[in-house]
């Protein structure tokens, strides 16, 4: 599955922009608003990298970075950290790096720069940045080749259908409305009418389901949308 990024940021506009940019590149994002929530999230499931804001209502990302670097947990001590701050003074940057942050990005910033810095950190740390192949039992979705395979055999999908499959598969277990799917596949030139999603889903099922009339992978929730079932591996 995709590499998971922990995002600690209390500004809704910045958090939304960063989360959207990361998800568009194939990362999974855990967004939290408070230092305590970030500490708990990392303890529950170690992310591939943490993006930490400096000024939060209950403390600073700098303090959290320091705590991780001094932790008795080897995994937390080695967790890659990218600091965000509205303060661009050289002293703040030096303090962050001296505390063990891998990089430091002052606000405002371009999402492309953040992504470039994040990937550079992951490369230096030898961590995978984002899975190019999503695997769900017999089904493989190769993002690099833009190909879906069932039992190792390529399935015939149009670009529209692959984009839709990828949007669903990157969010397993989540119900996605037709409107959400239109937004997520906007770059794939889907028709500007949400019922077209139904047609593409029908063709997707014909390509990847054993019995398209009784689907087990792409499920319909009447009145709500579609959900990709993670646990139908057989």
Q: Tell me which range, 88-92, 131-135, 182-186, is most confidently predicted by mean pLDDT.
A: 182-186
pTM listed for this prediction: 0.55
What local confidence, expressed as pLDDT, does residue 170 receive?
Answer: 86
Displacement of CA 205 from its chain's centroid (Å) = 25
Quote the Cα angle for 54-11-117, to 5°.
Answer: 60
DSSP-assigned letter for residue 229? -
Inter-residue contact 148 to 207 (CB < 8 Å): yes
What local confidence, expressed as pLDDT, does residue 191 receive?
Answer: 45
DSSP-assigned letter for residue 217? S
C-alpha dihedral, 116 to 122 to 127 to 128, nearest 10°: -10
Burial 40-78 (b: 16+ CB within 10 A, else e): ebbeeeebbbbbbbbebeebbbbbbbbebeeeeeeebee
The contacts of residue 162 (CB under 8 Å, 6+ apart) are: 146, 147, 148
pLDDT at 1 over 80: no
DSSP-assigned letter for residue 215? -
Q: Which residue spans of the chain are classified as CATH 3.40.50.2300?
A: 4-125
Q: Which residue spans of the chain are classified as CATH 1.10.10.10?
A: 133-228
What local confidence, expressed as pLDDT, does residue 65 receive?
Answer: 92
pLDDT tens profile 81-126: 999 887 655 555 666 677 788 888 888 899 999 999 998 888 887 6
How far apart CA 143 and CA 169 sit, in angstroms, is 11
Supply 184's token pair. Answer: 């997520």
Percent of the residues in the chain that have a pLDDT greater than 90, as a whole number: 37
How far apart CA 96 and CA 82 sit, in angstroms, is 9
How far apart CA 52 and CA 57 sit, in angstroms, is 13
Name the CATH topology of 133-228: Arc Repressor Mutant, subunit A (1.10.10)
What local confidence, expressed as pLDDT, does residue 186 receive?
Answer: 63
Confidence of residue 234 (pLDDT cuts 50, 70, 90): very low
Q: What is the mean pLDDT of the chain?
A: 84
Q: Measuring CA to CA, which residue among 71, 3, 7 is closest to residue 35?
A: 7
DSSP strand pairing (133-136 vs 139-142): antiparallel
The contacts of residue 171 (CB under 8 Å, 6+ apart) are: 228
pLDDT tens profile 147-183: 899 988 899 888 888 889 998 998 888 899 888 888 7
What local confidence, expressed as pLDDT, does residue 35 receive?
Answer: 96
What local confidence, expressed as pLDDT, does residue 217 receive?
Answer: 93
Class of domain 4-125: alpha beta
Of 62-66, 70-74, 203-207, the one with minimum mean pLDDT is: 70-74
Confidence of residue 132 (pLDDT cuts 50, 70, 90): low
How far apart CA 163 and CA 155 sit, in angstroms, is 14
Q: Which residue has the tokens 């950190």?
A: 121
Q: Tell me which range, 131-140, 196-205, 224-233, is most confidently predicted by mean pLDDT.
A: 196-205
């Amino acid at each position: 599955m995709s590499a998971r990024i922990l995002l600690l940021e209390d500004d809704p506009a910045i958090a939304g922009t960063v989360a959207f940019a990361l998800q568009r590149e194939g990362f999974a994002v855990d967004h939290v608003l408070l230092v305590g929530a970030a500490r708990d999230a990392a303890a529950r499931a170690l992310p591939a990298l943490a993006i930490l804001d400096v000024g939060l209502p209950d403390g600073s990302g700098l303090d959290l970075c320091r705590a991780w670097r001094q932790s008795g947990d080897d995994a937390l001590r080695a967790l890659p950290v990218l600091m965000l701050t509205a303060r661009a003074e050289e002293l703040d940057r030096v303090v962050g790096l001296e505390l063990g942050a891998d990089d430091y990005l002052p606000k405002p910033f371009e999402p492309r720069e953040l992504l470039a810095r994040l990937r550079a950190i992951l490369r230096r740390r030898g961590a995978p940045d984002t899975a190019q192949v999503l695997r769900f039992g017999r089904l493989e979705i190769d993002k690099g080749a833009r190909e879906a395979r069932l039992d190792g055999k390529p399935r015939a999908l149009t670009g529209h259908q692959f984009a839709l499959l990828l949007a669903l598969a990157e969010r397993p277990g989540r119900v996605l409305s037709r409107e959400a799917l239109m937004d997520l596949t906007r770059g794939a030139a889907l028709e500007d009418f949400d019922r077209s999603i139904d047609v593409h889903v029908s063709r997707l099922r014909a390509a990847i389901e054993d019995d398209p009339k009784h689907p087990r992978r792409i499920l319909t929730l009447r009145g709500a949308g579609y959900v990709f079932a993670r646990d139908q591996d057989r």
